[in-house]
A and B are shown apart, each in its own frame.
Chain A
Amino acid sequence: MKMTKTRQTHSKRGLISLLASLLSIAIGLLVGFALLNVLNANHAVNGFGKILTTGFATSEKFAKVLYQAMPLILCGLSVAFAFKTGLFNIGAAGQYTMGAFSALAVAIALQQPWYIALLAAALGGALLGAIPGICKALFNVNEVITSIMFNWITMYAVNLTINNMPIMLTNFWSRSSIKDRTAPLADANPSAMLPKGGLDTLMNSNYINIGIFIAVLVAIIMWVVLQKTVLGYELKACGYNRHASQYAGINAKRNIVLSMVISGALAGLGGGLYYLSGTGQYTLVKVLLGMGFNGIPVALLASSNPLGVIFSALFVSYIQVGGDALQPHFIKENIDIIIASIIYLSAFALLLKGWIAKLLLRSSTVKDNPELAEALGAEESGVSEGNADTEPPVRGAEKEDAQ
């Protein structure tokens, strides 16, 4: 009896999250369509169709969706995991870069197989994640500031290092004169490429490999860690209410560092997976890699649920693949704007959740159902985590009075 009740409440809360995510996606798509009309009205309908259908059009395109989703899942997990524990890891971009570098250095310079390289990627990301974590825990420096700075520090440091490691560059391994990017793994160390497991012939694509399974597996593990373990209990307690976790004797400082380390390792692993696929080469340009930032909308769209991240990453990847098919009717920059609008508006899920909850609250179904109302109440106030310290607003105080 008790169990079924809980499950109902949980499923209702889940329903609101799902509803919010779907509505956000719809809004994002609408704005995207409007932009298509503005930029090139003649091909708007056609283009919109392409965005929506390309990902499923051929098995090759679908392979591309999975391929891009793989690092997105991990970057999304990275951000989501930090969110769950009350931290905003905006440094996923840097940690992703660090992961990519660590993986490639181990694969090319040290000639190690893919699994060692992947471990190195996670380790690299973890080390970089530890820095903002330590700064926050010991000196109370806001992690957003440190991790943003480390995005840039990492990018320049990695570029500088690769530049000074001739063995890493393309021209070391082949007769080409290209020296602004790392060597293709097929030339430098084929054993460092992620195994394809026969998927390439099945889907007729060079992009697909077992990386997507690794990503999904990691997402499931993260869900288990957060939901079922002592570690997850402590981390979430720190995230929900730092003061109460200190009061309970939980070592909040250790947990902040640990959380950032795990978050960094996830982003690093994402970088490793992407560059160990063998299809991408790290290019020495002074631009932050967007993948880490795209982890933010992925995490928001999934309401920071690790399992939800799998699907939101697939969605974002799907839209990106669809966007690529807009050429030549739309120029690359415009496509980026359209796709970015869809993705970022989709991340409104979090805002919409409170709004939907309020809307449902007014409808009679909820009124007769205090359980759902409770669930909504909890969700609503969960959004404004920042208020936890301050005095409860009159509304919050009233809620207590009323019950």
Chain B
Amino acid sequence: MSDYVIEMVGITKKFPGIIANDNITLQLKKGEIHALLGENGAGKSTLMSILFGLYQPDAGVIKKDGKVVRIDNPNDANRLHIGMVHQHFKLVEVFTVLENIILGAEQTKNGILQKRDARNKVLALCDQYGLQVEPDALIEEIGVGMQQRVEILKMLFRDNEILIFDEPTAVLTPQEIDELMNSMRGFAREGKSILFITHKLNEIMAVADRVTVLRKGKGIGTVNVADTTVDELAEMMVGRKVSFETKKTDRRAGEAKLRVQNLFVAGRNNGKDKVTNVSFSVRGGEIVGIAGIDGNGQTELVQALTGLMPVSRGHVYIGDAEVTHATVRQHNNLGLSHIPEDRHKHGLVLDYTLGENLVLKDYFEPQYQRGGFLRFDEIYRHADALIDAFDIRSGQGANTVARSMSGGNQQKAIVARELALSPDVLIAVQPTRGLDVGAIEYIHQQIIAARDSGRAVLLVSLELDEVMNLSDRILVIHDGEIVAEVDAHYATAQELGLYMSGASKQQANLESGVEA
């Protein structure tokens, strides 16, 4: 019997033009929590996709309990009791919790679904591990935290012994993260083995036994968490010393440049208000952060502020101009820039070149067109200037098709385009989602520079650390309402977490006195 339940030995996987995994070895002991640490593009996802049967390695072997196995597809992985909670949940929105858990592993009798045994098993698992779910609730009605528990129960229901968690904490509040970590410890005690993919060092320190670090496709090493420090791990991950402090000078706020008064926004699906009676203003030279759990109205708020969604009631002003019902272009022309939440959906036309994408908001200006014909020489000159200024890296400079660029550089391109418009107001939504440490540092610097040059910045992010590090003031949104306003200087993660979960909404209102 081998010491390891899973061994991935000498795994190499090449993609055209890149080696995603270069001779990586990963050994998972029974009953341990093993973190896999690396920046975006380090090869974590590739390695896990190989283990889960989505890719075949070009070289190397996978061993289960010391025996070489072949994993051709996720069904093979399942047979070997390997389960995975994906970063983006794979749930059927209109099915109940129970239906989602048994999906693909249904027990039938004469072709008829037998749910009772399944229900009992699920309830037993819930009890055993302290996972709270409502078996008969529809997925679309439950929160993200419970959805994640459903994903976990899917693995437990299939008696999986090796549990892979892909960036599981990204969508959770600090309190939920604590709960998840307790659950993970519970699984490990029961003898299950856990692979925990993350780029958050404090989580590793909190819960993991050992950690394997990847960098640029290579395995840098495996260390015991007890024998290492955050700084050491960071250096292994990035390859140089990293500072986690975001340096910024004191705020010198000026006039209000973005004002929101009693804003209501109806949701797209059922017309229910997703944003209720929201009022705030952002002054030049300050960063106002909006903290909240995903799906609490942030998306609707931002889309209403930028003209992408209609406002039901209330008023929005940019400077002195009312833009409540203005078109997107009117917003833009009044000096609004917007780093969108989803860079692929909104931020870029992926089939356009980088150069074409960099003029996406001002291609119609006389600078870039003459008599209805685009001036490609000017467009590409502009692009080359931004590529230099913002260090955007791509295969063929301005001629690179945006789709083929890395996420970090795509995001840099968007930031470059939006800042090059010299906006009065910058709305940045999840500006560093999925980026590596270097790119995050850079984009944070740019946002702070924008604030220091007198722009009003509204930062909306699900990453609490990001909101706390960058903001001057923090507004907490819950269920479409601003439930608290706190000075970023004095805010703690625990306090914000409470507001975010809505637990102390009344209390929050009393304490901070936010009444529109």
Interface of A toward B, CB cutoff 8 Å: 2, 5-6, 9, 228-231, 233, 236-237, 240-241, 243-251, 361, 366-367, 369-371, 373-378, 381-382, 388-389, 391-392, 394-395, 397-403
Contacts and interface: CB of A to CB of B under 8 A. Distances in A.
A398 B372 contact: no
Contacts of B403: 377-378, 381
10 contacts: A230-B373, A236-B349, A241-B345, A243-B346, A249-B361, A377-B16, A381-B403, A388-B345, A401-B40, A402-B43
Contact of A249 (B327, B395, B396): B327
Interface stretch (B3-11, B240-248, B404-412, B469-477): B404-412
A6 B349 contact: no
Interface stretch (B26-34, B186-194, B350-358): B350-358
Contacts of B79: none
B369 A370 contact: no
Contact of A378 (B46, B360, B369, B401): B401
Nearest to B434: A400
Interface in B356-415: 356, 360-361, 363-364, 369, 372-374, 376, 395-401, 403-407
Given A361-B16, A397-B45, A398-B45, A247 B340 contact: yes
A392 B407 CA distance: 13
Interface of B: 14-18, 20, 40-41, 43-46, 49, 54-55, 88, 306-308, 327-329, 331-332, 338, 340, 344-352, 356, 360-361, 363-364, 369, 372-374, 376, 395-401, 403-407
B55 to A, nearest CB: 8
Contacts of B405: 403
A253 to B, nearest CB: 11
B350 A240 contact: yes
A2 B396 contact: yes
A360 B338 CA distance: 40
Contacts of A401: 20, 40-41, 43-46
Contacts of B54: 394-395, 398
Contacts of B332: 249
Contact of B49 (A229, A377, A394): A394
A367 B364 CA distance: 39
B346 A247 contact: yes
Nearest to B346: A247
Nearest to A403: B406
Contacts, number: 142
A230 B45 contact: no
A171 B376 CA distance: 58
A250 B364 CA distance: 10
B345 A389 contact: yes
A247 B308 contact: yes
Given A237-B349, A244-B349, A375-B401, A402 B363 contact: no
Contacts of A230: 363-364, 369, 372-374
B360 A402 contact: no
A6 B16 contact: no
Nearest to A400: B407
Contact of B399 (A9, A367, A370, A399): A9
A248 B361 contact: yes
**Closest 7 A-B residue pairs measured CB to CB?**
A370-B17, A249-B329, A373-B16, A374-B404, A249-B328, A247-B346, A6-B399
Given A401-B45, A402-B41, A243 B345 contact: yes
Nearest to B407: A400
B15 A371 contact: no
A373 B373 contact: no
Given A6-B396, A240-B350, A401-B40, A229 B345 contact: no
B404 to A, nearest CB: 4
Given A2-B397, A377-B403, A398-B54, 9 more contacts: A2-B396, A230-B374, A240-B350, A369-B17, A378-B403, A389-B345, A394-B54, A398-B49, A401-B43
B352 A403 contact: no
A240 B372 contact: no
Nearest to B17: A370
Contacts of B361: 248-249
B373 A228 contact: yes
Contacts of A397: 45
Contacts of A243: 345-346
Counting chain A CB atoms within 10 Å of each CB, the highest count among B54, B306, B396, B404 belongs to B404
Nearest to B20: A402
A367 B328 CA distance: 43
Nearest to B347: A244
A234 to B, nearest CB: 8
Nearest to B380: A2
A373 B17 contact: yes
Contact of A403 (B18, B347, B348): B18
B16 A367 contact: yes
Contact of A246 (B328, B344, B364, B376): B328
A399 B15 contact: yes
B352 A377 contact: no
A391 B54 CA distance: 17
A370 B15 CA distance: 10
Contacts of A5: 396, 399
Contact of B404 (A241, A377, A392): A377
A260 B397 CA distance: 35
A2 B395 CA distance: 11
Contacts of A231: 372
Contacts of B374: 228-230, 233
